[in-house]
Structures are given as C-alpha cells and as structure tokens.
Amino acid sequence: MTELDKIYSPTEIEEKWYKIWEENKYFRATMDKDKPNYSIVMPPPNVTGILHVGHVLNNTIQDVLIRHKRMSGYNTLWMPGTDHAGIATQNRVERQLAEEGLTKEDLGRDKFIEKTWEWKEKHGGMITAQLRKLGASLDWEKERFTMDEGLSESVSDIFIKLYNDGLIYQGEYMVNWCPRCGTAISDDEVDHTDKAGNMWHIKYPVKDSDEVFIVATTRPETMLGDTGVAVHPDDVRYKHLVGKTVILPLVGREIPIIADDYVDMEFGTGVVKMTPAHDPNDFEIGKRHNLEVISILTKDAKINELGGKYQGMTREEARKAVVMDLEKLGFMEKIEDHPHSVGGCYRCNTVIEPRVSHQWFVSMKTLADKALEVVYDGDIKIMPKRWEKVYYNWLENIRDWCISRQIWWGHRIPAYYGPDNYIFVAKIEEEAKEQALKHYGKEVELRQETDVLDTWFSSALWPFSTMGWPEKTEMLEIFYPTNTIVTGADILFFWIARMVMMGMYEMDAIPFENVVLHGIVRDEKGRKMSKSLGNSPDPLYLIDKYGAD
C-alpha cells in the first residue's frame, strides 16, 4: 500500500491529472446523432493576455455548465481560441522594437507583420497554457485564432457580402481618434469619465458693430479652427445679426453668424462657436450650413500649420497659450469651474480627439432591427433580465460602426483602388484586376487598401466561423446555434450584440439561446482589478499555493 505524502502538492496532482485528461481526449466533442447537443464558445482572450481573476470567474461558470451537460450524456463542445487583439498586440511589438532603437516604419509593413507573427508564436500561447492550469475542460483540438487561415477567409467573405449588399460604405465622417494609438476607434471603445475643468467665456466682436457675442467653451484651443457661430432662429436677442459676421479673436478670420435649431437658447448666452473639424455636433451643423472645415490638429494631437504661432504645441500647451493671449488682449470675459465628461481610449486612456477622417463603416440600422427582434421575442434570453433594457437602448439608438483601423496588424480590408480611386472589393488582387478590366476596359495599376478591420469585426463572427463556416461542416450543423454565452456585462455592445447581428445576417439564426452576464471582479474600493493598479491577486500564484479549486 502506497503511503500518501504528508504534504499535499496541488500543482503536482492537478498537472498530472490534467495531462491524462487531455491525452485521453476526455474533452473532445462527440457528434452522436442520437444524443442532444450543447455548445459554448469561449470568449477569446487577447493573444497578449495573461490569466487574471476575471478569466477565472468567467471560465469557471462555463466549465460548470459544460461538465454538467457532458456528464448528463450530451454531445458537448466548449470551443477554445484567442483573439489577435489588433491595437494591443501592435503596441506590444512596437515597444519591443523601440527597445532596439527601431520603429515599425524602419521594418516596413511586411517585415513588421512577420515580426508580429513571431511574437504571437512565442508569447501568444501563454493564456491557453494558464487556462489548462485552471482545469478548464476545453476541446483543445479545435482551438482557433481570429487570424488563422479559416477565420481570415470568413472575415473576407462577410466583408465582401456586406459591401455588395450595400451595408459597408466609405465616407468622410467625424470619428473618435486616438492620438496615442494613431487610429480611429468606435463609439463603444471610448470610456467617458467626469473630470474637473473650466468653462471659458470669450468675446467675439460682431463686424462693423459695437455688439459682442460671449461664447462659452471647454476647449478654447479649438477656436483656432472656428468657422462660424450659431444662435437659435427664434432667439430675439440675435435675430437681427443672423447673416452678419464676427471677427475671430487671435486669428482675425471673418466667420458667419448662422441660425440653427440645435442651439439651446437657455444655455449660457445662447451663442455657440462652430468648430466643424473638432466637434461631432458642429460637424453636422456645419454640413447643413456649408461651413468650412478647418482641422488645426495633427494626427498626434499637436497644433498644425493652420494654428499660426501655436504650431507644434500639444493640446494642453495650446490651451494655456491661447487663454493667456485672450486675457492679455482683453477677449476673456470670465472663467468658471465646470466639471465635464471627457472621452478616453479604452486601450491607453489617451483623451480622444474628434477628427474628420475617411473611414469604412457598417450601416447598422437593418442589422440592429433583427438583433432587437430576437430578444424582444424571447428567442435569446439575457440574464440578469435587467440588462435587456440596456441592450434595447443601445440598439434603438445605434450609430454606424467605424470598422477601419489605421494599424498594420489585423485583417487587411479586401479592397483595391483604381487610378481615379474607384473601389474594387475582392478577396485577392487577381479578382480585383478582373473587376478593374471590366470597369476601365483596359489593365490598370491597383493600390491595395492599407487599413485593417476593427478586431471586434472578426470576433462578431466567432460562433459560426470557428465551427467551419463558410465550409458548412458537420460540427457547424450539430453545434450551431450554440446554447449559452458567458461574459462580462462590459462587452454586451462590443461583442454580444454584434454576434447576434452577424448570426442573423449570415446564418439567419441566433448565435446562442442564453446570454449569461456576470459581474466585474472589483477591489474593496470598487475599482476593476488590473496589473497597473497592483490590486489584482495573481491567480497562478494562488493555484500553485492552494490548487485550482
């Protein structure tokens, strides 16, 4: 009889048994036609990720569900995989290059992408190895990666279909621009926080008049790009001035006084400065009144050559200098404390800059209507139920999705441009050349689109692309739609709603029946746990010390 060790070593025991489980393929999905089916697709962690407490909570819930069904005699599939995490991975590789005194431009696009694949092969498996330590009973033989060959093909196919159906388009629009990441990001990727700030009240003299408008703003530096001031058409105080002009302080530019229903007569002085290049509302008003669009910021948020003597300053430096000059020249009426909401990039927390830019968009209204319908009708159940109201509110007020990103790592948009910028959308250049030959009647040089797709675009296809679409495999037939998706409520819009939209669009079927939203693990101060705050216990340390259970 073998004597038990006096000291229990959880790591040794767990690693031994997990290896036996995996080698014996105990977690492999069965496809017995006489059995009921149950499937879950794991929310793919970023390839840059390491195991944290949120992963432990999320995967434990999934593991409980899948093991229960497996032991109850179901065909079960728990699909593993990782996400290529476009911006996060590119940032990681760029930092590595910076330590060698290099930039991505030094390497060029193709070499940089090679380098990123090398980084992925070396570091990208860390999170899946850690999930094994957790004891997660995933079918590892079916592991997918959002940029593997099959998933990349499905991304191209869906993009081309959406484009041909008129649901993807290009245009000059106001987008959320991250100066640090150097790319546009969608509305849902902007985190808003309330911050203490100021409201500056500035005098704008009416031309050939003794009258002066008092204009209030939280961003005085953007006045360098003002191309109008607006009042409400029914405001008797200013009706006689509509159609006249004011002289823009510090700049000397003559700009028109316009009337628009958007202006709130009761707010402040009832006069609003118009900076169409740097404010989404001003951009829309500017389009209605044909106001000039003057962008005074570079892509890294410094004042450009149109900013005169302020050129080269950061936004913060320009704000101080502009305020100082306004005070010196007598244009400052008053300064008040004013708390306001500031948008930051969800990746790096840099303050977002509204920027007019040429981007690719998905038209969302048609897709959103179907995604609303299946939850209204109870085909998909969201738990806790209170989150249904949040889901409805977002989809009922949805804006078009900006899907292009100005980075190199990711799914390159399958589009090519002719000499006159006519667009040919095709999987490969040969197909685009065939389209171009028909269009122009001769062979021409084509230029490939440089932007890549938002990482969430490929994630939106996850429930069916991972199971063998567009090939339509036996696994897809048996396990799609899936039964349950388990995730944090913070990605209800980023991921859940978009999976519903894409599932209904391509498969004409819901991607899952149940959405289980769990809470976010927080510390005693209510903060999300993160490595940077130093408030997150290391699950691997705890597993080594106490065991996964």
Which pLDDT score, from 0 to 100, does residue 193 have? 87
Q: Which CATH architecture has domain 190-353?
A: Alpha-Beta Complex (3.90)
**Which residue has tokens 């995933």?**
138
Q: How many CB atoms are located within 10 Å of the residue 370 CB?
A: 16
Which pLDDT score, from 0 to 100, does residue 303 have? 96
Task: Inform me whether the pLDDT recorded for 51 exceeds 90.
Answer: no
DSSP class of 503: I
* Most confident option among 91-95, 252-256, 341-345: 252-256
DSSP class of 43: P
Burial of 442 (0-12, 13-18, 19+ CB in 10 A): exposed
Please state, for a pLDDT cut of 90, what percent of the chain lies above it. Answer: 77
* Most confident option among 42-51, 208-217, 410-419: 410-419
Are 499 and 15 a contacting pair, CB within 8 Å?
no
Q: Span 152-170, mean pLDDT? A: 97
Give the dihedral sign, CA 357/358/359/363: positive
φ, ψ of residue 376 to 5 degrees: the values are -55, -45
Which pLDDT score, from 0 to 100, does residue 544 have? 87
Q: What is the pLDDT of residues 181-217, one digit of tens each?
A: 888 887 778 888 888 999 999 999 999 999 999 999 9
Q: Span 10-19, mean pLDDT? A: 89
Task: Inform me whether the pLDDT recorded for 4 exceeds 80.
Answer: no
Query: Which amino acid type is present at position 329?
Result: L
Contacts of 240 (CB under 8 A, 6+ apart): none
Q: Span 502-512, mean pLDDT? A: 98
Least confident of 11-20, 67-76, 161-170, 253-262: 11-20
Are 295 and 227 a contacting pair, CB within 8 Å?
no
Domain ranges in the chain? 10-163+458-546, 190-353, 415-448
Task: Inform me whether the pLDDT recorded for 1 exceeds 80.
Answer: no
Q: What is the pLDDT of residues 277-299, one digit of tens each?
A: 999 899 999 999 999 999 999 99
- Cα distances (Å, whole numbers) of residue 102 to 37, 95, 96, 99, 360: 52, 9, 9, 7, 30
Q: How many CB atoms are located within 10 Å of the residue 446 CB?
A: 18
- Cα distances (Å, whole numbers) of residue 409 to 46, 75, 83, 132, 167: 13, 37, 12, 27, 24
Q: What is the pLDDT of residues 375-391, one digit of tens each?
A: 999 999 999 999 999 99
Task: Inform me whether the pLDDT recorded for 157 exceeds 70.
Answer: yes
Q: Any idea what the Cα angle at residue 285 is, between residues 263 and 369, rounded to 5°?
A: 100
Least confident of 9-18, 253-262, 379-388, 424-433: 9-18
Q: What is the pLDDT of residues 449-458, one digit of tens each?
A: 999 999 999 9
Task: Inform me whether the pLDDT recorded for 10 exceeds 90.
Answer: no
Which residues lie across from 202 on neighbouring strands?
A: 215, 332
Helices (H), ranges, 296-383: 315-328, 365-376
Of 514, 193, 209, the C-alpha closest to 344 is 193
d(CA 500, CA 447): 34
Peptide bond into 537 cis (omega under 30): no
Which pLDDT score, from 0 to 100, does residue 532 have? 60
d(CA 355, CA 334): 28
Reported CATH class of domain 10-163+458-546? alpha beta
Structure tokens at 249: 């302080």
Task: Inform me whether the pLDDT recorded for 530 exceeds 80.
Answer: no
Of 357, 358, 359, 362, the C-alpha closest to 168 is 362
Structure tokens at 261: 């229903």
Q: Span 234-246, mean pLDDT? A: 95
Query: Which amino acid type is present at position 193?
Result: T
pLDDT classification of 63: cutoffs 50, 70, 90: very high
Please state, for a pLDDT cut of 70, what percent of the chain lies above it. Answer: 99
Whole-model pTM? 0.83
Which pLDDT score, from 0 to 100, does residue 542 have? 87
Q: Residue 323 CA to chain centroid, in angstroms? A: 34
Three-state DSSP class for residue 484: strand
Structure tokens at 245: 């002009």
d(CA 344, CA 349): 5
- The reply to whether 10-163+458-546 and 190-353 are identical in fold is no
Q: Span 463-483, mean pLDDT? A: 95
DSSP class of 521: P
Structure tokens at 177: 């621009």
Which pLDDT score, from 0 to 100, does residue 118 have? 94
Task: Inform me whether the pLDDT recorded for 492 exceeds 90.
Answer: yes
Of 218, 230, 222, the C-alpha closest to 336 is 218
Q: What is the pLDDT of residues 311-343, one digit of tens each?
A: 999 999 999 999 999 999 999 999 999 888 899
Task: Inform me whether the pLDDT recorded for 234 exceeds 80.
Answer: yes
Contacts of 34 (CB under 8 A, 6+ apart): none
* CA dihedral of 380, 385, 386, 387, whole degrees rounded to 10: -30
